[in-house]
Structure 1
Amino acid sequence: MRHLGLQLLLFLALAAATVSSTRIGGGVALMWVAGGYALAYLLTRPRRAWPAALAAFAIGSTVATFTVGIGPVGAVPMALINVCEPLLAALLLQRWHPRGTYFESGHGIACFSGACLLAPACAGLAGALCVTVVTGTPFTGNLLNWVLGHGLGMLTFTPLFMLLLRGEFRDWSRNSTAGQRVEGGLLFALVSLTCVIAFAQNRLPLGFLPMLALTLATFRLGRLGAAVSIIIVALVGGWFTLRGMGPTSYIQTEAATRVHFFQLYMAAAVLTILPVAADLKQRKRLYETLRDSEARFRLVTENSTDIILNLDANGTIRYVSPAIASVAGYAPEGLVGGPAQKLVCEEDWGIAWAAHQAALRAPGRTITTDHRGLTAEGEMRWFETRSRAVLNDAGEPDGIVSSIRDITERKATEMRLTQAASTDPLTGLANRRGFEARLHMMLERGGCSAGCLAVFDIDHFKAVNDGFGHDAGDAVIVAFAEMAQSITGGRDLVARLGGEEFGIILADLTQAEAETLCDHLRQTVSETPVPTSSGDVRITVSAGLVDLRSASDASTAFRAADAALYRAKAEGRDRLRLAA
């Protein structure tokens, strides 16, 4: 109840003050500040608190109208109209701009201005009619005074009252430094002084002076400075205007019309300064966001082992993190302004540049690529680069930011694993997987102008394992692998296909040349004893040979060579046979 009583007294004081001082000609008052306070209260309180507040405002309006307004006859109807007006404006604002940030964006200010004009226009029809019926004054004049007085009252005073009710003045006074408070006081004093100079005389048209001081206060103090300065201009300028002084005194007309022109002057000030304050608020928020983002960025880049690289659209280095010194030996400041191409191996620049272009074409996507790069000492290393486009104010990509990681050890591990996956562990030769991949590659390139495939199988290998042991069997396999590599001279691929079976790709040899070489290998094996821990072991091999020019693919070549091998075994082993 105590709180509601305070709201009643505040509304009553504001209503009585403006009605008694600006009600010219017995009709509607030319200014109405109480509506601005009522709207500010509704916008800063939950809806469940509205009914009690509106009742308090209605009582305050009734008392003001009864004592200094149109009298007891119109007191109750005017009270209903005066509380419905801010209620309508509040409902419109909450529907149009639910977030409640009415003074922080152009859209919010537009919604606020529209509600402050539409609500008085609607309420003004009933209010002007009521005043006309009670006082007999012209309806048109009453409607004009109502719309301008109530609309400009809301537009001018609501921002200040909202700051007060939200405690922003209190917070500013607590959180600001002594220097900032002194600066604020001096700026408000400057606004007051320029208002007195502009409005307390009739000789010079100096209405522009307060606008300069008002703009300065807005730039220095933001929305709070704008709201307080607007109130100072309204109070000082309005007081002198009502006394026939200031720039409006040059208009040779009745007092009410001069007040209307002053109200238009205030509307121009409000609609100019509030967007500026909103833009400054957004810029300040953006600046703080960028400042925090830069701090986080520097913390990450300066302590990360990954290299952070920022390039323009043409590949020129804008920024490179300190990590490049430890990773690649370059001084960061020596790279800025130079081309990124110098950091990439010449053979891989096409890959890196294609990833750069792909990132520019697809903003929002991260492009990952592996490439080789050069350190300051000329050492070749592998790097993984993740790139993403940087957008300018127009939303267009104008550069790239990349995170670069040294993956040399990973690449070496991958190569070892790849080699292990395609290598026979006993002999060190290629295994069947590696052999087939090599053969497939040869045939996929459009066939072979020359070359043969030979398949060898150690005869009676099971008997060697059974009679001499598996160690002797392993020794026999290793011995054959060494003899095959020796006779081919390392030029051709020798592979262990599995168990006791081997394959040889004899590249660039005709069938006759390949037949001579394979038969020489067969004879060498049969004539060379293999020493083992169980004694010398003699072995023979059978082989099948196919000319690759007659094979359409790897599977066909293998089938043909295997068929020739089986024929050699069927005919008594220790011999070479050609594919049909």
Structure 2
Amino acid sequence: MPSRLRPIILTFGYLLAAGLTVWLTRFSGGVAFVWIASAILTSYLVLRPRGEWSAALLGCGAASAVATASFGLGPAAAAPLAALNVLEAVLAAVLLSRWVKHPGEFASIGEVARFMAAVGMVPPVVTAPFAAAAASWVTGTPFAANVLNWTAAHALGALTVMPLALLVGRGEFRDWRRSADRRAIIEAAALVGAMALVTIAVFSQTRLPLLFVTLLPALFATFRFGRLGAATCMALLIAIGGPLTLQGSGPLMLIDGSAGFRAQFFQLFVAVAFLTVLPAAAELRHRKGLFSALSDSEARYRLLAENTTDLIVLSSLDTTRRYVSPASKALLGYEPAELVGTKPLDFVHPDDRENYRALLEALTDGRIAKAVTRSRYRRKDGSWIWLDVSFSLTRDEETGAFDGYVASLRDVTERRDAEEALRLSEERLSLALESGSDGFWDWDLETGEVQFSERWFATLGYDPGEARGDIASVAALFHADDVERARRLMIAHFKGVTPTFQCEYRLRRKDGDYVWALSRGKVVSRSVSGKALRIVGTHIDITQRKEAELQVEHLAYHDALTGLPNRALFSEHLRLTAARAAAKGRPFALLACDLDRFKAVNDSRGHATGDVVLQTVANRLRSIIRNDEFAARLGGDEFAIILPDVANANEAGEVAQRVIDTIGQPIDIDGQSAIVGVSVGVALGMGDPADQIFRNADLALYDAKAEGRSAYRHFEAGMDAAFTARNALEIDLREAVQEQAFTLRYQPIVNLSSGRVCGFEALLRWRNPRWGWISPADFVPLAEESGLIVPIGEWTLMQACAEATRWPSDVTVAVNISAIHFQQASLELSVRAALDASGLAPERLELEITETVLMQNTTLAVSSLMRLRALGIRIALDDFGTGYSSLSYLRRFPFNKIKIDRSFIVEIGDPEVAAIVRAIVGLAERSGASITAEGVETECQLDRVRQEGCTEAQGFHFSEALPSEEVGRFFTRDGLTVFDDRRRAVP
């Protein structure tokens, strides 16, 4: 319907209702017993939006004025009364909207009461005094009667029209018509007809007081059709009973009084009827709602119970089961009927029963309303399953008292097994972490908070909770040198570049020391965009491993005995130094050092002493070099020093000389002195390859050794050729040893008293196939360095003894023994073998040793000499007066012969030298040793040595060294050759 027509139709309806009321006053003595016009307007205002109120109020106000005027009141009263009618409708509509949430639904008795107050009590009471005053002023009727009539008529009109109008207006009738079947429609029509017939019957007779009989069909309609039935019946009651009563018919005629009095009594009856029927309808609706909700709830509950995998059980307070859901079959193997009437304790595992019983007692006693437990239940097949059981008490709907409980049982066997496995796994992990050195950390990247395990705190010496758990505090514990590397690796993992984070770094302990840690982690949570949100990991204390690695690394690059860098580290440092020198354009120096006489000390006094010597040398080298200089032990008795920045060769030479002077100082070992020297080769480098510089220094070192040891030499270009020649010579020397390609020359030794030859000194000679005769001064040092001197010495002993057997029996043969050969434990065996093989008498063999033998280890040397003397051979001290001579040698071992070095004989004309010779002779005489002057080349020298007391002499003055086949010329038929006064041999 168009909205513009509604106010018009409403106005005509209002006018019609008002006119009907005026017409009915003809039968009630001028009293309007019901005013339905205001109820129609109020219903419209409630049902329509406020935007449509203005037109409706204007139209109905005008209609009210017309109707009032037709009632016999003048315009003076019609206008105020019309305004009051409109005001009453507005007030009722406003109160109804505020007091009743859904007007017309009558959902409860309270809502019915508020409805009746909003439309039938407050508005009429408010407007009645004003309307009564206006009516009394115009008509002169009593004010009180007018108030009562206005209130009753308007209240009855509101109760008559509004319930049905609101229900119809809100579509209640339409909805019922759509949903009702034919039977319901017939039943409704029958009840309406019954209400009409009963009302007509009751109000058509005047003899019986059957007024309340009309409530029977009204109540039937209410119970059957609710609010709609009640409102319809009440409307019929007023529409039929009211007019009949006003016409003088009906049970109210039994009451004495005027028509107006009976009309008021009818109003009272209708009010009682409304108070009976409408609350009943409301309560019925409320109960139907509850029943529907309960039915829906029960349906949903049953649907849930019968379709859920959980087992639902309803039990009484004595724990007897009254209902069991179908899930019992799948869960326990029982049909629901098999479990109804049973009690849960009959199925609970014995170990869980006591706890289960205590919980049920607390529940059924009302001490707790809800409870949860986990227990084992026996299945029908005898197996046990774990169930989570939730209990909740239930109440009786009428009394509100607890009448039982509902239990929900869920199978958690798999979850419980998983939880148990997880618990055991966590225990094992915790045990592993506690017994090992692992710590655990968990970093929330959004908050910056870091959680740590107790092991992590213990590693750093903190008590749990003592250290702060934010990332800034943790980062402050990192060693400064490790922060950037750890940050770089962590960012790489955050970005997904690496599958895990792994880093070794140092952390500062509480005591200030640092520990090495190996940290491994993995991002376990990322945002939708891939941003890392959380990372967890482990932390292992690897300090011991790291120290071991550092120790291994140190051992890999350092000499274990001396602590100096070894050859590997030296080579790397030399390479870097050479590269830096080339880049800077400044030279550096390399000093190659080789100890002199170390092998003799090591062999004669033992390796322990040799180790002490090497350690002392290393310490002395450390004291010499500066912080930026580098010293290393290359192996054996070889050392090297790198001077990274030198001005010139002289500066490097000064350092080399300082090394020689420092190393050459005596070394005290257990009260005994050991003396070693050092030879140094110096090479400068700037742009040359490192290996070439090292070779240059090595060549200079060999040159220094060849020059007499304890000296240094700078590398010179010619040394390379000399080194090559030396290597070639060594190769030839080895071949000569294998092929025994040596020969002996013999130089006679003359007794100065008799002039007779008393013996010969065997001198080693070597003729190289390529180079010819090689001087002993060239190949003997090489033999000593290479160790070939020992087999050469053994061959010399054998050869000399064998050839001496062809000489006269009183002629001796002297063989030189090198210091290296003397230190060999096999020397005594070699002497025995030579004597035994040749058959030479021991007293005819004379071994010549130098002072060097005695210097290395005097005690050991003297012991060896004693054993050799015990064989019966003679011992001569050769080159006496050179080197580090000591009178203690002569006291500790009585040599058979002392040979004065040729350097004294050459200068014997010098009084000081002559005095030295004289002193040596005196010492020899007192020790019982004979004296041999070496290197006598002139007659003058011969005279002087005789004058000084020498007993023997040898030298070119008598003869050069001769091959063995020429020695025989010194032998005559009568014995040995005798030298005459002119030093000529006499045949």
1:224-243 correspondence runs (5 A)? 224-243=228-247
Residue 86 (structure 1) shift: 1.9
Residue 420 (structure 1) shift: 3.6
1:536-555 correspondence runs (5 A)? none
Q: Identity percentage over the alignment? A: 39
Aligned equivalent of 2:723: none
Match of 1:283 among 282, 287, 296: 287
Aligned equivalent of 1:106: 109
SS in 1 for 2:75: coil
Distance (Å, rounded) in 2 between the aligned partners of 1:91 and 1:58: 18
Kindly indicate which of the two structures has a greater share of residues assigned to strand. 2
Distance (Å, rounded) in 1 between the aligned partners of 2:129 and 2:353: 76
Distance (Å, rounded) in 2 between the aligned partners of 1:422 and 1:404: 29
1:386–1:402 contact (8 Å) kept in structure 2: yes
1:401-416 correspondence runs (5 A)? 401-416=406-421
Distance (Å, rounded) in 2 between the aligned partners of 1:72 and 1:422: 101
1:166-245 correspondence runs (5 A)? 166-245=170-249
Match of 1:320 among 303, 324, 329: 324
- Which AA in structure 1 matches 2:170? R
Q: 1:240 to 1:260 in 2, by over 3 A?
A: same
Which sits farther off after the overlay, 66-75 or 208-217?
66-75
Kindly indicate which of the two structures has a greater share of residues assigned to helix. 1
- Which AA in structure 2 matches 1:398? D
**1:296 paired to 2:291:** no
Residue 92 (structure 1) shift: 2.3
Residue 48 (structure 1) shift: 3.1
2:370–2:391 contact (8 Å) kept in structure 1: yes
- Which AA in structure 2 matches 1:297? Y
1:152-167 correspondence runs (5 A)? 152-167=156-171
Corresponding pairs, count: 432
Which sits farther off after the overlay, 208-217 or 409-418?
409-418
1:198–1:209 contact (8 Å) kept in structure 2: yes
**1:248 paired to 2:267:** no
Residue 307 (structure 1) shift: 0.6
**1:85 paired to 2:92:** no
SS in 2 for 1:318: strand
Match of 1:117 among 114, 121, 124: 121
2:105–2:167 contact (8 Å) kept in structure 1: no
Residue 101 (structure 1) shift: 5.7
Which sits farther off after the overlay, 13-22 or 163-172?
163-172
Distance (Å, rounded) in 2 between the aligned partners of 1:19 and 1:248: 22
SS in 2 for 1:309: strand
**What do the CA deviations read for 1:183-242 (whole angstroms, capped 9, x no partner)?**
000001111111112110011111121111111110011100000001111111112101
- Which AA in structure 2 matches 1:109? V
**What do the CA deviations read for 1:228-266 (whole angstroms, capped 9, x no partner)?**
001111111112101111111111100011011111111
SS in 2 for 1:154: helix
Distance (Å, rounded) in 1 between the aligned partners of 2:55 and 2:168: 20
**1:13 paired to 2:19:** no
**What do the CA deviations read for 1:387-420 (whole angstroms, capped 9, x no partner)?**
2232333554433222211112222223333334
Aligned equivalent of 1:76: 79
Residue 23 (structure 1) shift: 5.5
1:356–1:400 contact (8 Å) kept in structure 2: no
**1:418 paired to 2:423:** yes
Residue 364 (structure 1) shift: 11
Aligned equivalent of 1:493: none
**RCO greater where, 1 or 2, for CA within 8 Å and sep 6 or more?**
1
Distance (Å, rounded) in 2 between the aligned partners of 1:359 and 1:63: 74
1:498-577 correspondence runs (5 A)? none
Q: TM-score, normalised by structure 1?
A: 0.69
Q: 1:389 to 1:433 in 2, by over 3 A?
A: farther
**1:345 paired to 2:343:** no
1:257-268 correspondence runs (5 A)? 257-268=261-272
Aligned equivalent of 1:56: 59
1:156–1:267 contact (8 Å) kept in structure 2: no
Which sits farther off after the overlay, 230-239 or 341-350?
341-350
Aligned equivalent of 1:460: none
1:358–1:367 contact (8 Å) kept in structure 2: no
Residue 91 (structure 1) shift: 2.1
**What do the CA deviations read for 1:285-325 (whole angstroms, capped 9, x no partner)?**
22222222223223222222111112223322121110001
Aligned equivalent of 1:67: 70
**What do the CA deviations read for 1:336-375 (whole angstroms, capped 9, x no partner)?**
2332322322432333344445666889975321011111
Residue 102 (structure 1) shift: 5.7
Residue 72 (structure 1) shift: 3.1
Aligned equivalent of 1:516: none
Distance (Å, rounded) in 2 between the aligned partners of 1:351 and 1:229: 63
SS in 1 for 2:35: coil
Aligned equivalent of 1:35: 38
Which sits farther off after the overlay, 319-328 or 293-302?
293-302
Please give the root-mean-square deviation of Cα atoms over the aligned residues, in Å.
2.7
- Which AA in structure 1 matches 2:67? A
Residue 148 (structure 1) shift: 0.9
1:104–1:279 contact (8 Å) kept in structure 2: yes
1:443-458 correspondence runs (5 A)? none
1:20–1:69 contact (8 Å) kept in structure 2: no
Match of 1:145 among 143, 146, 149: 149
**What do the CA deviations read for 1:394-450 (whole angstroms, capped 9, x no partner)?**
55443322221111222222333333444599xxxx97979xxxxxxxxxxxxxxxx
Aligned equivalent of 1:545: none
1:343-492 correspondence runs (5 A)? 343-356=347-360, 367-393=371-397, 394-423=399-428
Residue 383 (structure 1) shift: 0.4
Unmatched tracts of structure 2, length 5 or more: 436-987
- Which AA in structure 1 matches 2:340? V
SS in 2 for 1:15: helix
1:163–1:169 contact (8 Å) kept in structure 2: yes
Aligned equivalent of 1:554: none
1:363–1:388 contact (8 Å) kept in structure 2: no
Which sits farther off after the overlay, 364-373 or 154-163?
364-373
SS in 2 for 1:385: strand
1:19–1:32 contact (8 Å) kept in structure 2: no
Q: 1:362 to 1:49 in 2, by over 3 A?
A: farther
Residue 96 (structure 1) shift: 2.7
**1:307 paired to 2:311:** yes
Distance (Å, rounded) in 2 between the aligned partners of 1:400 and 1:106: 33
Residue 24 (structure 1) shift: 5.9
Which sits farther off after the overlay, 304-313 or 76-85?
304-313
Q: 1:403 to 1:388 in 2, by over 3 A?
A: same
Aligned equivalent of 1:3: 6
1:301–1:308 contact (8 Å) kept in structure 2: yes
Residue 69 (structure 1) shift: 4.6
SS in 2 for 1:73: helix
1:312–1:400 contact (8 Å) kept in structure 2: yes
Distance (Å, rounded) in 1 between the aligned partners of 2:21 and 2:365: 63
**1:272 paired to 2:271:** no
Which sits farther off after the overlay, 361-370 or 55-64?
361-370
- Which AA in structure 2 matches 1:95? R
SS in 2 for 1:326: helix
